[in-house]
Chain A
């Protein structure tokens, strides 16, 4: 790894470390002063950063299956993000240990729990919840270990058959990813409102994760674009490719979000509409309109233009923007489960993403700086192609 890249990554890590230390201190204050808000904001922040680790898993598997120029510089970023998964287990512990306070169906205090929830006891019970959580992480860790390990091994021995092995795991791996993320999002987010259900819910998280990780990669690559050896390959056409993917997932997010809405709106059934009722109280309608306009309409129109994707400084702004509105979307999905029908904001809402993100980024930067920033011997990307 060149010194320029390494220094740039260490500079980011320094900021991340500061955010982690200050953020954690503030979060601890929040834990003792505003327990409810701590749980709520922690869950949102965890789901956001977990989504980047998991989204990386998906993106890198898509790349192994479909190949393509766009994956060349993204690969090491995704691999470092996948390797943060052990940290995500540690970061999941606060949620697990507080599960009786976070998930109403686990607590006993909720008096009139309908028979609807009781009918779901086969799935919604403490033991199975625990087993599932362990299962998800084991599956993700094993998949990540295989994907990252093989890729690193190719750096050393240049064995071209490794690509085949990676593709062979990635195809079924993508199915496993879809299923585990769907179930995990049901367990950790949808079950906050245990009477409600939506078959769109899992894919909503999948689309969000893909969008987050693409935005994250673009932010990082545009930042590092002047450093060798990245400067050699990060031509406008490279950002055009990544920008197209981010654009596609922006549309996909809107498609999924709206599909869930129109199905429930058209059905107009009493067991389905409370979710939207809880999210349409004072202020929350504003958030929904904000998401429609700034998570979809405006980015859609801007990224429609080819120039906006080819110019690194414009696509960087778009990526930072998409990254930020992902939080707003998760806030809108999660927060009203705790505080229905009203826009509830606490200072922890603004601190917690940086606390969790600081920890995540510190680990991520450490892992990223350890390996060459580009795959060394992947036959599909001969190094001479970089010079072009």
Chain B
């Protein structure tokens, strides 16, 4: 399957486009050809790209929900423990467990928990932090943050066959199709 050339491991093949529309058309073709390990690189978020690539829904949302629930219940428990168990103080004759007063803190802790889980969950799911990625070596890749749109099919994809995938990508009307090798073998 994946060949070792120049004693480096093949990361995959990239195709370069000059417009988001062309990228989406290509992404749909790649998706329909059965490729799954694909990635796109664009200077700005392109609407409809994730659908065109057939990306499965991330479960980050569930992670954020969990963070919110943990944060909120943590905030409730913290206040309960302080005000009822550890240091009960009679404030204006109110019950120790005065839930209305707890709500703002519960709300804030929910937001905090959800936000932390969202940020660090996103890092975790994306494998970040990661100082280097083979795609950086792709020719002209710096323009992915300027005016070019890249899509890559990774060599690890079950459907990947160097010659055939290359031929397939050449048929996508890309501006260029390049091989990308990863340094760490």
Contacts and interface: CB of A to CB of B under 8 A. Distances in A.
A258 interface: yes
Nearest to B93: A268
Contact of A258 (B65, B92, B103): B103
A265 interface: yes
Contacts of B101: 262, 266
A182 B61 CA distance: 37
Contact of A265 (B61, B65, B100): B100
B134 interface: no
Interface residues of B, number: 7
B158 interface: no
A262 B61 contact: no
Contacts, number: 12
Interface string A254-277: 000010011001101000000000
Interface residues of A, number: 8
B34 interface: no
B92 A262 contact: no
Interface in A246-295: 258, 261-262, 265-266, 268
A306 B92 CA distance: 44
Contacts of A265: 100
A306 B57 CA distance: 11
Of listed A266, A268, A306, residue having the most chain B CB within 10 A: A266
Interface string A165-191: 000000000000000000000000000
A218 to B, nearest CB: 22
Contacts of A266: 100-101
Nearest 9 interchain pairs by C-beta: A265-B100, A262-B100, A268-B92, A258-B103, A266-B101, A262-B103, A261-B100, A262-B101, A262-B104
12 contacts: A258-B103, A261-B100, A262-B100, A262-B101, A262-B103, A262-B104, A265-B100, A266-B100, A266-B101, A268-B92, A304-B65, A306-B61
Given A266-B101, A304-B65, 9 more contacts: A258-B103, A261-B100, A262-B100, A262-B101, A262-B103, A265-B100, A266-B100, A268-B92, A306-B61
